[in-house]
Amino acid sequence: MSSRAQIEQHIEVHKFYGGAVVGVAFLALVLQGFLNKFGSWAGLLELPLLVTIYFSLSRRNPATGLLLGMGIGVLQDAVSQMPIGFYGIAKTFVGYVASSFGGRIDTEHPVSRFGLVLVFFHFHQILLTLMDHVMLARATPYFSWKLLIASAVNAGVAVILFPVLDHLRKPS
Which tens digit of pLDDT belongs to each residue from 24-40? Answer: 999 999 998 888 777 77
8 A C-beta contact, residue 100 and residue 57: no
pLDDT at 114 over 70: yes
Which tens digit of pLDDT belongs to each residue from 124-169? Answer: 999 999 998 888 888 877 788 999 999 999 999 999 999 999 999 8
Cα 126 to chain centroid, rounded? 14
Start-to-end Cα distance in the chain: 24
Angle at alpha carbon of residue 100, lines to 153 and 23, rounded to 5°: 60
Domains of the chain with bracketed CATH: 3-166 (1.10.1760)
pLDDT of residue 38: 77
